Amino acid sequence: MSDKKVVIELRNVDKSFGPIDVLHNINLKVREGEVLCLLGDNGAGKSTLIKTLAGVHQPTRGEILLDGKSVTFDRPKQAQEMGIATVHQFGGTFPLMSIGRSFFAGVEPTKGWGPFKVFDRKTANEIAVKAVQDFGITRIDDGDRLVGGLSGGERQSLAIARAVHFGARVLILDEPTAALGVKQAAHVLRIVNEAKRRGLAVIFITHQVMHAMAVGDHFAVLIRGAIAADFGRGEKTREEIADLMAGGENMAELEASIKV
């Protein structure tokens, strides 16, 4: 496992907003074909961490290495161009646009000449449908359907397929399974596994230990802006992970205290 190439690495990264320290001394490595599950309670700094990776924030100290080379992103667009794609919950798709149009928003395929460019609907639909079907969502077969008519899992899958199609190498998934039903979540987890099989480095943020354990190769738990635990698959039990996510408290005790 560890012989795989490291795609992105954080080295001693600190981030503070004015006097408030949000991240302390973060060290993380994500290899190609590997899923890193980033776990942590609300306010632990998960969002700040992924925003730093995506170029929204710049680290106060420390460095980000892409393929072993130190990089700085001034804008999110730069990170995107270097293959770091962030897919937010339901983000990247437009409910009232067709699948083909939504897939190619901003990078429309055109035909025609000079200023008289024509949006190539047929090509757009074909590529979009194929890209999504290659990820195993065969229910999507008509590129003219509205995105709003898809299920939450399918929309999430469409957004991931879109990111991969446009050359993402590092895929940051921000709670893709929150707010999804059991079956829909399984859909998305399947897509995550497919992205992993294709050799992408995936950073998967979730609240659900079950989902993390289903796809994760590597786990990092954030507590108050620091990495509290960093372990591989099968090294810890579900209960231990849940305790860590709750900020180190014993969940069994917490649960017991709820019961009357």
Residues of the shown chain interacting with other proteins in the complex, contacts defined by CB under 8 A: 76-77, 80, 86, 90-97, 101-102, 104-108, 110, 117-119, 125-126, 129, 133, 136, 138-139, 141-144, 146, 148-153, 155, 179-184, 186-187, 189-190, 210, 213-214, 238
Angle at 249 between CA 255 and CA 35, to 5 degrees: 100
The beta strands (E) that lie in the chain are given as 6-17, 20-31, 34-40, 61-66, 69-71, 84-87, 110-113, 116-119, 170-174, 201-205, 218-223, 226-232
- Indicate the DSSP class of residue 168: -
Tell me the C-alpha distance between 174 and 27, whole Å: 19
Rank residues 9 and 243 by Cβ distance to other proteins and give the closer one: 243
Q: At what angle do helices 121-134 and 152-165 cross, to 10 degrees?
A: 110
- Closest distance to other proteins from the beta carbon of 131 (Å): 13
Rank residues 45 and 153 by Cβ distance to other proteins and give the closer one: 153
Given a contact cutoff of 8 angstroms between Cβ atoms, the answer to whether 35 and 217 are in contact is yes
Token pair recorded at residue 114: 């000079």
- Closest distance to other proteins from the beta carbon of 72 (Å): 20
- Closest distance to other proteins from the beta carbon of 11 (Å): 27
- Closest distance to other proteins from the beta carbon of 123 (Å): 12
- Closest distance to other proteins from the beta carbon of 247 (Å): 22
Which residue do the tokens 């895929």 mark? Answer: 171
- Closest distance to other proteins from the beta carbon of 83 (Å): 14
Rank residues 102 and 206 by Cβ distance to other proteins and give the closer one: 102
3-state class of 167 per DSSP?
coil
Rank residues 39 and 223 by Cβ distance to other proteins and give the closer one: 39
- Closest distance to other proteins from the beta carbon of 19 (Å): 27
Residues 6+ apart with CB under 8 A from 95: 146, 147, 148
Given a contact cutoff of 8 angstroms between Cβ atoms, the answer to whether 25 and 13 are in contact is yes
Do the bridges between strand 170-174 and strand 84-87 make them parallel or antiparallel, or are there none, so unpaired? Answer: parallel
